[in-house]
Structure 1
Amino acid sequence: MQLPDLEAWAIFARVAELGSFAATAESLGITQPTVSKAIARLEKRIGTPLLHRTSRRMTLTAAGQAAVDRAARLLAEGEAVEAAVTAQAVSPRGHVRMAAPMSFGVAHLAPLLPAFMARFPDVTIELVLGDETVDIVGGGFDLALRIGNLDDSSLLARRLCGVRILLVGAPAYFERAGRPKHPRDLATHRGLTYAYARSGTAWRFHHARHGDYSVGIPSVLRANNAEALTPALLAGQGLALQPEFLVWRELKRGALEVALPGWQPPEIAVHVVMPPGRSRPARVQALIDHLARRLSQAPWAAAD
């Protein structure tokens, strides 16, 4: 059995990332002819070109497009292995810059940090909170937490835990407005809506027997932070689709109730995303592992 040419695949991944043989050579500390020979060797081995090269630009062929994501993962894993082995005898140290959604960051992320800080006193953390999607690479972030279904991108991602979305309202609201029996009934109810919801103005549900159903609901309050809907929810001013991590305590004490049992909005997840094509320093990996371990045990975390 012939071993794969891992070095050439790693060089190809960096060429695809940087778009230049010269930049790749400088990045990897090798010569430009070494880069060119590696790509030529790889193309000969697989029997098809990976790159279109002209005097002015370089683009991926169809074969290159099909291979680039896996090649990038090979490079990242190789870098990560070397970094982990090099750092295994050294306590993680240095600075980690992290972004997270506002409400989740305050209520569920920040309480996890003191234990990490006590275990790794030489690691400093900069936490940037906000519900807008940050540019991880442009903003100089080592990682970011994202809640929802991830768009296709070049970012590296790791799922930390599942999150149920629940349709909830206060008992006083149901006493006044009645309980919806089917998603279509929501068209006559009052909605409290999250501005950054991926589904826009439509609320989507799935039932094991009745299938999928989408409905629009009149919005009487719209906010770009889901926690800002909680006071109106508790005051009986409408219904909202809320992640369970925001309302699990209110549900437990009966201040809120789940509407439409059996009709489930699509589940989402908490992910950590990282810049592509980079090895993860020990301090970043240690923080990711800490968050994964703690969040998977949260009382609201959905089982995977």
Structure 2
Amino acid sequence: MNLFEAMKVFVKVAELGSLSGAARALGLSNPSVSRHIADLEQYLQARLLNRSTRRLSLTDTGSAYLERSKQVLFDLEQATLAAGMHAAKPSGVLRLNAPVSFSVSHLGRVLPLYAQRYPNVALDVTLSDRIVDLIEEGFDLAIRIGRLQDSNLVTRKIAPARLLLCASPAYLEQHGTPQQPSDLERHTCLTYAYSMPGDEWRLQRDGKTHTVRIKGGLHCNNGDLLRAAALGGMGIIRQPTFIIGDDIRNGRLVPLLTDYHGPELAIHAVYPSRQHLSAKVRTFVDFLAEQFGDAPDWDRDLPLS
């Protein structure tokens, strides 16, 4: 038995929920697929699939083995690709989806450096804060910010995304400065549409979580507009430092409740695990991690807990 071949067949059967579907996808006969599964179960001395005349389902052992098998096959594929593409020059069109505010403020300034290093790669960048389907919409990779939902995508952290509460000096002079989380309930708070839940802010200190119900006169799906409204004295915002860092350093916005911190978020590069990792994708992800990293310049000299 070829163990890796049997694992590949098992993963495909589990993904498609069908022996015949896996056979078609892999270009094998139905008996060949059945034999691979039987040989693998015999080798493991464990049942991986529950079979009936109408459907297949994973056993508990099968579910656990599926996740490990995916990782083993992915690692093998990456090792093979790394060896085979060591001398390959990245080329072709790289289709990237990225969030608006981060891209305008930070991604755009580093793209010329990537283009100089890899002149044979053409960049096709679509900016959108919605979560796109990479495979269905034909993207090679995406940049996503925040906690990622469970998926079949490969992810790599390229930088932290830290949130700070802040407001303009004019707003604070008129309305006062909140001293504790509950004070926010009496203030105008400008909220971001993609934060869930939208009418609550959660702040933590010393292992305790403070949940505050907030209200305000502006709810928006773009962080730059919220920043502009806060600069104009409209209210308090909670935005990532890559949007508001310069304003805080220059005194245009004042950080608030800095002894408290919000959820730990990150900026990730994500790409489909079912596709081969091309040289253009690999080099671009490496480049992003190199340019930003764990101590990005937008966090410089900020009061981060």
Q: Same-fold call, TM > 0.5?
A: yes
Query: Who is 1:155 aligned against?
Result: 153
Query: Who is 1:122 aligned against?
Result: 120
CA distance in 1, matches of 2:143, 2:220: 20
Q: More deviation in 84-93 or 45-54?
A: 45-54
CA distance in 2, matches of 1:90, 1:129: 29
CA distance in 2, matches of 1:57, 1:126: 42
CA distance in 2, matches of 1:121, 1:98: 17
Query: Who is 2:142 aligned against?
Result: 144
Task: Give the residue type in structure 2 aligned to 1:20.
Answer: S
Query: Who is 1:76 aligned against?
Result: 74
| Correspondence 1:133 to 2:113 | no
CA distance in 2, matches of 1:123, 1:25: 36
Give the secondary-structure state (helix, strand or coil) at the position aligned to 1:138: helix
User: Is the 2:94–2:281 contact (alpha carbons within 8 Å) kept by the matching residues of 1?
Assistant: yes
CA distance in 2, matches of 1:151, 1:301: 26
User: Is the 1:190–1:237 contact (alpha carbons within 8 Å) kept by the matching residues of 2?
Assistant: yes
Q: More deviation in 7-16 or 224-233?
A: 7-16
CA distance in 2, matches of 1:241, 1:205: 11
CA distance in 1, matches of 2:21, 2:116: 41
Unaligned runs of 5+ in 1: none
Give the secondary-structure state (helix, strand or coil) at the position aligned to 2:218: strand
Change (3 A) 1:20 1:93: farther
Task: Give the residue type in structure 2 aligned to 1:220.
Answer: G
Deviations 1:172-192 (A, max 9, x none): 111111111110011100011
Query: Who is 1:274 aligned against?
Result: 271
Change (3 A) 1:19 1:97: farther
**TM superposition shift of 1:29:** 4.9
Unaligned runs of 5+ in 2: none
Give the secondary-structure state (helix, strand or coil) at the position aligned to 1:264: coil
Give the secondary-structure state (helix, strand or coil) at the position aligned to 1:213: strand
| Matched ranges for 1:1-304 at <5 A | 5-208=3-206, 211-296=208-293, 298-300=296-298
Supply the RMSD in Å over aligned alpha carbons: 2.1
Task: Give the residue type in structure 2 aligned to 1:238.
Answer: G
Give the secondary-structure state (helix, strand or coil) at the position aligned to 2:198: coil
TM-score normalised to the size of structure 2?
Answer: 0.91
User: Is the 1:171–1:255 contact (alpha carbons within 8 Å) kept by the matching residues of 2?
Assistant: yes
TM-score normalised to the size of structure 1?
Answer: 0.91
Q: Which has the higher contact order (CA 8 A, sep 6+)?
A: 1
Task: Give the residue type in structure 2 aligned to 1:219.
Answer: G
**TM superposition shift of 1:27:** 4.1
Give the secondary-structure state (helix, strand or coil) at the position aligned to 1:263: coil
Q: Alignment identity in percent?
A: 38
Q: More deviation in 50-59 or 102-111?
A: 50-59
Task: Give the residue type in structure 1 aligned to 2:201.
Answer: W
**TM superposition shift of 1:103:** 0.9
Count of residue correspondences? 299
Deviations 1:211-238 (A, max 9, x none): 1101011121111111111121111110
